[in-house]
Amino acid sequence: MFFLRLILLLFGAGLRLDPLPVPDELVDRVDFWVKVFGEVSRNQRIIHHRLFPQCVFGILDFSAEANILPKQVLTNVIVDAEESYFEKLRNAFKKFLDGKRPETLFETNVFQVTRKCLKPRRSDIVSYTLAENLIRSQSGVAEKTRDAVTRSFRYLWFIENVLKTYGIPDDIKFLPFVESSFNVNAVSKAGAVGMWQFMPATGRVYGLRIDKFVDERRDPFKSTVAAAKYLLDAYQAFGNWPYALISYNHGVEGLRKKLYEFNIGSNLVRLIEDPFKRPLGFASTNFYPSFVAVVRVFKNYRSFFGDIRTDPPLRVEKHNLAKALTVYSLSKATELPVSSIIEYNPHFSAAVRSGKLHIPAHTLVYLPPGHRINYSKVAVIKPKRPQPSPKEKPKQKY
């Protein structure tokens, strides 16, 4: 492992090759995701082709409705408007298949997008799009990105140091946005948890403790080290960083199987842009282009969001708990409010945070710099010894 890190560091420093390349064929797809992350609002919907999202048919704007309608009513309005737009697109495509020319401004726009963006990819793209229902809506996340930029500065200083130690390209420090928007408490529908979105089995493989007391997937420091180890293993498996990143979404073995099944090898463009073979689903296909877009937006966040205020770096001091304590006892011992204890230790389980379970001895605890644990201020929690069952009194005879 040490020699691999050394080779990566020397290789990067000596040859200066771009570890995260963007071939010309992927530029338009990356630009699409730049718009999604940096320009389009949560109240706007981009109507685009599912296989080639860079082929955009229009943008629906619901900003005015969002200011006056309740959330559920707004959702219904958006769904109805999208379906109406989809139907207009389908009708336009059917018209083109019949050999008819566009007559309206809407049809002209669809015709131009089809001719310039879709047709060069495959001749039967219109009929294929209709048959497979390949029109999709994508909401913007500019507000979410802005909040993630603000939050990211709590952790970027540490992530940068860890990636440098492991010889991983610095730009990969922005991967937690794609995974969780830098939210240490994020939980996916599939059960992935934390800033780096580890599943339980993978987290344990990379040294994270997950039990009824703590879940170190929520620990921003330990989970970052685990993510670096995973990424380095993935790089070793594929020999390039784009595939290592895609495997973060699709799994190393899952991606390796697809590369072999479709005979793709190291051809990144074929993996993502091939108009006939679709080895991966929508999320995995767009994972690398969307990540590159995130890097671009984060590096130029002032151009997208103005001079926003960012969170200060999260500085902590580590303490190994000498004796078992509840969060309330730890609060007394540190003279910190319980809310601060929980904020600095998101890896504590819900039962520990509520005080139902004690924090076991030798558990890693984070405190603000300058704070110590004064055990003399609290009573030590001792494990309860089982009490002998009371002996049954002999029955009296009358």
Predicted confidence (pLDDT) per residue in 128-148, tens digit = 999 999 999 999 999 999 999
What's the mean pLDDT in 348-366?
95
For the segment 186-196, what is each residue's pLDDT rounded down to a tens digit?
A: 999 999 999 99
Report the alpha-carbon distance of residue 207 to residue 227 in Å, rounded. 10
pLDDT at 179: 95
Cβ count within 10 A of residue 2: 6
What's the mean pLDDT in 204-230?
97
- Higher-pLDDT residue of 398, 322: 322
What's the mean pLDDT in 233-255?
96
* Model confidence, pTM: 0.87
Confidence bin at 386 (pLDDT 50/70/90): low
- Higher-pLDDT residue of 342, 391: 342
Residue 16 has pLDDT above 70, yes or no: no
Confidence bin at 18 (pLDDT 50/70/90): confident
pLDDT at 391: 59
Residue 397 has pLDDT above 80, yes or no: no
Name which of 46, 28, 75, 29 is nearest 139 in CA terms. Answer: 46
Residue 356 has pLDDT above 50, yes or no: yes
What lies within 8 Å, CB to CB, of 361 at 6+ separation is: 321, 322, 323, 324
For the segment 86-125, what is each residue's pLDDT rounded down to a tens digit?
A: 999 999 999 999 988 889 999 999 999 999 999 999 989 9
What's the mean pLDDT in 42-57?
97
Confidence bin at 395 (pLDDT 50/70/90): low
Instruction: Provide the 3-class DSSP secondary structure of residue 133.
Output: coil
Confidence bin at 363 (pLDDT 50/70/90): very high
What lies within 8 Å, CB to CB, of 300 at 6+ separation is: none
Confidence bin at 380 (pLDDT 50/70/90): low
Report the alpha-carbon distance of residue 168 to residue 1 in Å, rounded. 13
Residue 336 has pLDDT above 60, yes or no: yes
pLDDT at 377: 87
Residue 267 has pLDDT above 60, yes or no: yes
Residue 12 has pLDDT above 50, yes or no: no
65's torsion region: left (phi>0), alpha (psi -120 to 50) or beta? alpha
Residue 13 has pLDDT above 70, yes or no: no
Name which of 105, 115, 113 is nearest 48 in CA terms. Answer: 113
Name which of 138, 16, 132, 151 is nearest 78 in CA terms. Answer: 138
Across the chain, what does the average pLDDT equal?
91
Residue 20 has pLDDT above 90, yes or no: yes
Confidence bin at 14 (pLDDT 50/70/90): very low
All domains in the chain, ordered by first residue: 43-139 (no CATH), 147-288 (1.10.530.10), 317-377 (no CATH)
Residue 384 has pLDDT above 80, yes or no: no
